[in-house]
Amino acid sequence: MIHLLYLDPGSGSYLIQVIIAAVLGVIFYFKSGWNWIKSFFVKTPPKTEEEKNESVD
Amino acid sequence: MNQLTNHHPASFRDPSGFIYEQDGLVYRFVSTLYQTDYDLLIGSGLADSLVKQKLLLPFIELNENHTHRNDWYKTLQPKQIPFFTYAWEWSFDQLKDAALTTLAVCKNSLQKGMILKDATHTNTQFVDGSAKLIDTLSFEKYEEGEQWVAYRQFCECFLNPLLIATHRGMEVHKLMLAYPDGVPVGLTAQLLPYKTKFNPSVYLHVHLHAKIAGKSVKEGKTKRKVTQKNIEQILQSLLDLIQSLKLPVKKTVWNNYYDETILSESYLTEKKRTVSSLLSTLNYTSVIDLGANEGEFSLLCNREALVVSADFDSDCIDSFYRLIKEQKLKNIVPVVVDLTYPTPGMGWMNKERPALFSRKKFDVCLALALVHHLAIAKNISFAQLAEFFAEICDELIIEFVPKTDPKIEEMLKWREDVFSDYNENELEKAFSPLYSLAQKLPVTGSQRVLYYFQKN
């Protein structure tokens, strides 16, 4: 790896990225869970003719 | 191995290649050390796609080894950058756009199996009206499980100064001048208000980052690996956070300068008309507009010419930058500069990042409603001013504001008038050794005068 020759990413850098990734993963998980729950209560408007045509394409 | 004398002084950190100048053109040397990554950058179509999206500076490959080095792989001729600017000369929106460009490039790279190994602001320049990555050698192959090696650098160069500016009102260019390699994460955590700890993104990227940054952790010690998807999420989170940042609205003395009632409407129209007709008679390819304010007069210049619009008020430059972006003007480069403290040469041996006025000589200089601020507020003599202008330009359009002008009366209201030499005669006398007076035009609707000088 060439970059290690001249750029020091910082020793804690890997750990912080692991933690941020984990937290963002959890947020993403809850968000999609929330959207899943929401989908039971919020009626999605029926597709218009145009949108139907788009999805066929 | 031949040592090049024209090797650019800013290009020594990355062993993958370097920049050099030959016959007035800038080239990039690509070393065999970078061969695999370079082939992937081109072969994957990444370079092409980034150039099309206006995120990467266009370049062409030349099959000519000017350097005669034996580690030569390719010679690249990038599109030549008309005027280099640095983060310590950028306004908030300029730094923000440079950050968004860097993130967009990194996101695109991951989709093609590569990643940015560098994320410094010096790799971004404003060319053709938008922020573009200029370092073609910043890309490397991404291997699953690797971290984003430039993550901390990105935070320190972009995110941290933008956050401090948003929450504390500090100007980004001053922060960047104090910390040219980026504002340290620990300092940022201390400077940001306590409430930012409740913003999940700021907490993660700054406060938690600061806590962990100093800790020594071996890669093998953490069980979890960073995946490509994780890095994509980190990039998205940075993108969302930076996109949401806005400067708090404040009114300075300088924005809306020309809307203030003290200067009549007819004065401004007349001044624009005179400057415009004067400019139309000149032949020029470059202009520097000093004290550009919100760029009203930069806009009068020929659209084919390079126009560098400088002002020390970062809010004015910020709103002018937004305007040129909106109008898609490609020839104007706005910079935040205090003329009494212009950017010095910085970095290794003061040569890595050259001083502002050593970068280029201009054909024309516009200095409108500026000289009285330098002469009266900063006590700079006419002779010093003439010497300064002679160093940066050949032709000069300046405005003289007499002492009887309401603006100057306001400036002298609370101080002693020690400016007995401040008059038209003295100005003409001081400029005469260096410049010849070609035209002297009164501005109707005011007592002000426009001078057009040509260098002797």
pLDDT band at A55 (very low <50, low <70, confident <90, very high): very low
Side chain identity, residue B405: D
Q: Give B345-349 contacts, CB < 8 A, sequence gap 24+.
A: B346/B86, B346/B88, B346/B180, B347/B9, B347/B10, B347/B180, B348/B9, B348/B12, B349/B9
Q: Is the predicted pLDDT of residue B163 greater than 90, yes or no?
A: yes
Identify the top-confidence range among B166-170, B254-258, B407-411: B166-170
**B166 within 8 A of B247, measured Cβ to Cβ:** yes
- Contact flag B216-A11 (C-beta cutoff 8 Å): yes
For residue A50, the model assigns a pLDDT of 52
A27-49: average pLDDT: 74
**B27 within 8 A of B81, measured Cβ to Cβ:** no
Q: Any residues with CB less than 8 A from the CB of B93 and at least 6 apart, and which?
A: B318, B321, B322, B325
For residue A5, the model assigns a pLDDT of 45
- Contact flag B204-A19 (C-beta cutoff 8 Å): yes
Vertex A43 angle, CA A38 and A48, to 5°:
130
**B85 within 8 A of B173, measured Cβ to Cβ:** no
Q: Find which of A4, A14, A32 to mutate to test the B interface (most B CBs within 10 Å of its CB).
A: A14
Q: For B62-86, give the secondary structure using H, E and C.
A: ECCCCCCCCCEEEEEEECCCCCCCC
For residue B358, the model assigns a pLDDT of 93
Q: Is the predicted pLDDT of residue A2 greater than 50, yes or no?
A: no
ipTM of the complex, rounded to two decimals = 0.74
Q: Is the predicted pLDDT of residue A45 greater than 70, yes or no?
A: no
pLDDT band at B364 (very low <50, low <70, confident <90, very high): very high
Q: For B11-73, give the DSSP string.
A: --S-TTEEEEEETTEEEEEEEGGGHHHHHHHHHTSHHHHHHHTT-B--EEEE---SS--TTEE
* CA pair distance B272, B364, nearest whole angstrom: 16
Mean pLDDT over all residues of chain B? 91
Which superfamily is assigned to B265-455 in CATH? Vaccinia Virus protein VP39 (3.40.50.150)
* Candidates A12, A21, A22; nearest CB to B213: A12
Q: Any residues with CB less than 8 A from the CB of B76 and at least 6 apart, and which?
A: B27, B28, B30, B59, B60, B61, B62, B136
Residue among B327, B278, B317, B270 nearest B295 (CA): B317
Higher pLDDT, B443 or A43: B443
Residue numbers of B between 5 and 24 with CB closer than 8 Å to A? 13-16
The C-alpha of A53 sits at a distance from chain B's nearest C-alpha, in angstroms, of: 29
Q: Is the predicted pLDDT of residue B13 greater than 90, yes or no?
A: no
* CA pair distance B2, B78, nearest whole angstrom: 23
For residue A37, the model assigns a pLDDT of 83
Looking at B211-225, B302-316, B361-375, B382-396, which range is the least confident one?
B211-225
Q: Token digits for B42?
A: 């081109």
- Pairing relationship of beta strands B362-367 and B393-400 according to DSSP bridges: parallel
Q: What is the distance of C-alpha B244 from the center of its chain?
A: 22
* CA pair distance B216, B312, nearest whole angstrom: 42
Side chain identity, residue B157: C
For residue B60, the model assigns a pLDDT of 96
Give the nearest chain B residue to A18 (CA atoms).
B226
Vertex B166 angle, CA B162 and B169, to 5°:
110
**B367 three-class SS:** strand
CA distances from B180 to B122, B161, B164, B192 (A): 9, 11, 15, 19
**B287 within 8 A of B301, measured Cβ to Cβ:** yes
CA distances from B9 to B47, B105, B346, B348, B359 (A): 26, 26, 11, 8, 13
Ramachandran class of B413: left when φ > 0, alpha when ψ lies in -120 to 50, beta otherwise? alpha
Question: E strands within B345-392?
Answer: 362-367
Query: Which helix (H) or strand (E) element contains residue A3?
Result: none
Higher pLDDT, B394 or A12: B394
Block residue for tokens 């206006």: B54
B79-93: average pLDDT: 96
Q: Find which of B152, B185, B238, B239 to mutate to test the A interface (most A CBs within 10 Å of its CB).
A: B152
B41-45: average pLDDT: 97
B352-359: average pLDDT: 93
For residue B253, the model assigns a pLDDT of 60
Q: Is the predicted pLDDT of residue B8 greater than 80, yes or no?
A: no
Identify the top-confidence range among A5-14, B260-269, B357-366, B415-424: B357-366
Per CB-CB distance under 8 Å, the chain A contacts of B148 are: 17
For residue A16, the model assigns a pLDDT of 87
For residue B49, the model assigns a pLDDT of 97
Block residue for tokens 């922020």: B131
pLDDT band at A4 (very low <50, low <70, confident <90, very high): very low
pLDDT by residue (tens digit) across B302-336?
999 999 999 999 999 999 999 999 999 999 999 99
Give the nearest chain A residue to B31 (CA atoms).
A2
**B192 within 8 A of B186, measured Cβ to Cβ:** no
pTM for this structure? 0.90
Looking at A19-23, B259-263, B349-353, B363-367, which range is the least confident one?
B259-263
Domain B1-248, CATH 2.60.40 — does that match?
no
B202-212: average pLDDT: 93
Q: Is the predicted pLDDT of residue B1 greater than 50, yes or no?
A: no
Higher pLDDT, B250 or B72: B72
- Pairing relationship of beta strands B139-141 and B130-133 according to DSSP bridges: unpaired
CA distances from A26 to B10, B203, B238, B390 (A): 43, 15, 17, 62
What count of other Cβ atoms lies within 10 Å of the Cβ of residue B167? Answer: 18
The 10 Å CB-count burial string (b at 16+, else e) for A5-44 is: eebebbebbbbbbbbbbebbeeeeeeeeeeeeeeeeeeee
User: Any idea where the domains of chain B sit in the sequence?
Assistant: 1-248, 265-455
Query: For chain A, how long is the longest CA-to-CA vector?
Result: 58
Side chain identity, residue B102: T
**B106 within 8 A of B119, measured Cβ to Cβ:** yes
For residue B221, the model assigns a pLDDT of 58
Residue numbers of B between 21 and 40 with CB closer than 8 Å to A? 33-34, 37
Query: Which helix (H) or strand (E) element contains residue B258?
Result: none
pLDDT band at B267 (very low <50, low <70, confident <90, very high): confident
B205-211: average pLDDT: 94
B260-269: average pLDDT: 71
B55-61: average pLDDT: 97
Instruction: Report yes or no: B150 at the A interface, CB cutoff 8 Å.
Output: yes
B403-407: average pLDDT: 87
How buried is B103 (Cβ within 10 angstroms: 0-12 exposed, 13-18 middle, 19+ buried)?
A: buried
For residue B166, the model assigns a pLDDT of 95
Chain A residues interacting with chain B (CB cutoff of 8 angstroms): 1-7, 9-25, 27-28
pLDDT band at A1 (very low <50, low <70, confident <90, very high): very low
Beta bridge partners of residue B26, listed in sequence order: B21
